[in-house]
């Protein structure tokens, strides 16, 4: 019965929004069922959309990585929280920003037309001050960046963050600190939280749907994290599929108030239903 229900559901889906780490690979290890899954998606007229919250790489870097892994030949199939942040800020007519980002992501913001302010509050004339402080997953984060951003936030400059994840998956089911730890540091220092763009916020899904020019009923989110992938999909009103190949365990799912529409061992179970 479960297989028949899933098969019937997937017949209506055109866009499979796919989380990366924990769903298609773990660290540097691609799951053996990933390429057959992607090939079957395309063979049956579906489109994979690679959606990642990790803003420590530019869209171009993700494209180079996924192209090398033979996941995609089309950069338009990739949507990152960094790109979502760029598009959101542009929709708000924000052009001058104090940006915390790695060099490649900073370059992507510059190419998108942003002016990056790097001076401190006291060294920046009022007319040149940033319209926003923007935090991405900055692996080049320093105390100097922290204090400059802190001064702007305390002075009332709006604060944005690309995504909220606390932990970053690495090898052997281990984790490193993610941007959430930096958000916590700013909250402690400023008593303010940023406006978050990425999963589980609706913003990233709204922008993605606009990109695809599709109906919600044509979209399905597949991911391994309850509090980002699944919560975001459910809050936005699209079908959610949790795979147990990454962060979430059956015990975690049982305790969680966030419940996916479907729970599968891994994406190979979707391949069988296409």
**Which pLDDT belongs to residue 2?**
61
Q: 61 pLDDT exceeds 70? A: yes
At 206, list the tokens: 């709204």
Q: Which two tokens stand for residue 160?
A: 């944005």
The 3-state secondary structure of 98-160 reads EEECCHHHHHHHHHCCCEECCCCCCCCCHHHCCCEEEECCCCCCCHHHHHHHHHHHHCCCCEE
Do you find a cis peptide bond into 20, omega within 30 degrees of 0? no
Q: What is the pLDDT of residues 197-226, one digit of tens each?
A: 999 999 999 999 988 999 999 999 999 999
* Per-residue pLDDT, 1: 43
Summarised one tens digit per residue, pLDDT across range 131-190 is: 999 999 999 999 999 999 999 999 999 999 999 999 877 766 677 889 999 999 999 999
pLDDT in tens, 38-58: 999 999 999 999 999 999 999
Higher pLDDT, 10 or 63: 63
pLDDT band at 64 (very low <50, low <70, confident <90, very high): very high
In percent, how much of the chain has pLDDT > 90?
Answer: 86
Mean pLDDT of the chain: 94
Helix axes of 59-68 and 103-111: crossing angle, nearest 10 degrees: 110
pTM: 0.92
Token code pair at residue 78: 């990739």
Could you give the angle at which helices 103-111 and 81-91 cross, rounded to 10 degrees? 30
Delineate the domains of the chain, giving CATH numbers in brackets: 2-53+199-271 (3.40.50.1000), 85-196 (3.40.50.1000)
Tokens of 97: 């920003």
Cα distances from 176 to residues 25, 27, 166, 170, 191, in angstroms, run 17, 12, 9, 7, 25
pLDDT in tens, 241-266: 999 999 899 999 999 999 999 999 99
Q: Rounded CA gap, 23 and 34, in Å?
A: 9
pLDDT at 6: 73
């Amino acid at each position: 019965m479960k297989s028949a229900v899933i098969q019937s559901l997937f017949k209506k889906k055109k866009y499979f929004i796919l989380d990366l780490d924990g769903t298609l690979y773990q660290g540097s290890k691609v799951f053996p069922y990933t390429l057959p899954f992607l090939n079957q998606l395309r063979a049956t007229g579906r489109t994979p959309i690679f959606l990642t919250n990790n803003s420590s790489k530019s869209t171009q870097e993700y494209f180079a990585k996924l192209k090398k892994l033979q996941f995609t030949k089309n950069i338009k199939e990739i949507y990152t929280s960094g790109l979502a942040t760029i598009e959101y800020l542009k929709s708000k007519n924000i052009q001058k920003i104090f940006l915390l980002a790695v060099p490649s992501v900073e370059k992507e913001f510059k190419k998108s037309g942003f002016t990056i302010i790097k001076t401190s509050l006291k060294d920046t004339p009022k007319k040149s001050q940033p319209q926003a402080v923007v935090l991405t997953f900055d692996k080049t984060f320093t105390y100097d960046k922290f204090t400059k951003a802190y001064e702007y936030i305390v002075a009332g400059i709006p604060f944005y963050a690309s995504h909220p994840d606390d932990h970053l998956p690495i090898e052997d089911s281990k984790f490193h600190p993610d941007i959430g730890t930096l958000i916590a540091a700013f909250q402690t220092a400023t008593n303010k939280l940023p406006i978050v763009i990425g999963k589980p916020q609706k913003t990233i899904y709204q922008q993605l749907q606009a990109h695809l020019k599709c109906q919600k009923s044509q979209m399905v989110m597949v991911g391994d994290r309850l509090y980002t992938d699944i919560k975001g999909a459910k809050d936005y009103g699209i079908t959610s599929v949790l795979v147990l190949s990454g962060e979430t365990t059956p015990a975690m799912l049982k305790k969680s108030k966030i419940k996916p529409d479907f729970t599968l061992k891994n994406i190979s179970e979707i391949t069988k239903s296409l």
